[in-house]
């Protein structure tokens, strides 16, 4: 932050170019707004780890058994005809074991979307507060 002629801090981001990459005189330069833009781009393109997608799906299934009951045919089609779905309360441990056999991000996303009509990535990002 810079100070104005009255000694008060100026609230805008400095747009002077800052040097980085100090090797052999080939310094490169960037402004703070440009660096913030690059960081946001990295966050926007960050892919969600499969284990975290599975955990989100387990939480959805465990906390919304009535929603899952209405989607049992989809669950059985994707995960097999497991006896776990015949119980009133679903065990988180058994759900983890059942979902550990899924190695495809797309399958987890599809199952989450079919059960909840919500986007896995959007929900995950909201929970992680990446854009707040």
Angstrom distance (rounded) from CA 74 to CA 12:
52
Q: What is the pLDDT of residues 59-88, one digit of tens each?
A: 988 888 888 888 888 888 887 766 777 776
Please choose, from the candidates 98, 120, 106, 116, the residue with its C-alpha nearest in 3D space to the C-alpha of residue 52: 120
- 40 and 54 share a domain? no
Q: For residue 17, give its domain range.
A: 1-45
- 71 and 124 share a domain? yes
Stronger pLDDT, 29 or 21, i.e. the higher one: 29
Mean pLDDT of 6-26: 70
- 36 and 11 share a domain? yes
């Amino acid at each position: 932050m810079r100070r104005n002629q009255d000694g008060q801090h100026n609230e805008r981001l400095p747009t002077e170019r800052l040097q980085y990459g100090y090797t052999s005189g080939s310094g490169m330069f960037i402004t703070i707004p440009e660096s913030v833009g690059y960081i946001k781009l990295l966050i926007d393109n960050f892919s969600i780890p499969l284990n975290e997608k599975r955990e989100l799906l387990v939480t959805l299934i465990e906390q919304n058994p009535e929603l899952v009951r209405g989607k049992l045919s989809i669950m059985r089609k994707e995960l097999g005809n497991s006896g776990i779905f015949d119980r009133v309360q679903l065990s988180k441990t058994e759900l983890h074991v059942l979902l550990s056999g899924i190695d495809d991000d797309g399958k987890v996303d599809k199952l989450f979307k079919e059960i909840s009509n919500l986007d896995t990535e959007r929900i995950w990002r909201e929970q992680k507060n990446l854009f707040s």
